[in-house]
A = this chain, B = another copy of it.
Amino acid sequence: MEASVTPKTARGEATRRAILSAAEDVIGMRGFNDASITDITREAGCAQGTFYIYFKSKDEVFAELVVEMGRLLRHALSEATEAAPDRLSAEKEGLRGFLTFVIAHPNLYRIIQEALFVNPDAYRAYFQTFADGYREALAAADAGGEIRPGDPDVRAWMLMGIAKTLGERAVVWGDETPIDDVVEAAHDMIVNGLKR
């Protein structure tokens, strides 16, 4: 009734990690509903019951996956943009970092998208965090005279939409245009759209 334990040994730690990683693979590929606990534990190399030692439910792993992906992505993005001298180049490097990350973790896109149906709250939390950060950055750039004045919230969503869709183009459509070319082409429109 109240499982979900924090591992106390290295072995337990490893098992938990194996299950989480298997869940990412299996749910990412088959989708939440078609991914059974059996599929996940088979992939993780343990018995069905073991799953419930570390996770309360199927929904719980999913939620944890969403949170973890958010963490990983935020990390990737801040690394990608930390050296950027201004907002517009941060925009460029952020897009490059995002596409690189998404292509390296193709299951990300699917899991995040599916969260809208499986766990709307997690979905909202995930995007809200990005939207907020984006909006603040744009508002600051606006205030600092770096970019044309304009509604920072609408712009934040537009830029997220651009990134998301270009990521999907690569991951779902299998488009193989080199990342740098896509970034170049996209940034041309973005920079002109935003610069003073």
Taking Cβ atoms with an 8 Å cutoff, the residues of A that contact B are 31-33, 110, 113-114, 116-117, 120, 124, 148, 150-151, 153-155, 157-158, 160-166, 168-169, 172-173, 177, 181-182, 185-186, 188-195
Contacts and interface: CB of A to CB of B under 8 A. Distances in A.
B148 A158 contact: no
B116 A117 contact: no
A51 B164 CA distance: 37
A41 B166 CA distance: 39
Nearest to A116: B113
Instruction: List the 7 closest A-B pairs by CB distance, nearest first.
Output: A161-B165, A193-B193, A189-B193, A161-B161, A151-B185, A154-B185, A31-B117
A148 B192 contact: yes
A162 B120 CA distance: 21
Given A158-B162, A162-B158, A164-B165, A150 B117 contact: no
A38 to B, nearest CB: 8
Contacts of A161: 161-166
Secondary structure at the A interface, as helix, strand, loop or mixed, is helix
A110 to B, nearest CB: 7
10 contacts: A113-B113, A114-B116, A116-B172, A124-B173, A148-B192, A150-B188, A157-B169, A158-B165, A164-B165, A192-B192
Given A31-B117, A114-B117, A194-B189, A166 B173 contact: no
B148 A188 contact: yes
Contacts of A181: 151
A167 B5 CA distance: 40
Contacts of A172: 116, 120, 124
Nearest to A192: B193
A58 to B, nearest CB: 12
A31 B120 CA distance: 11
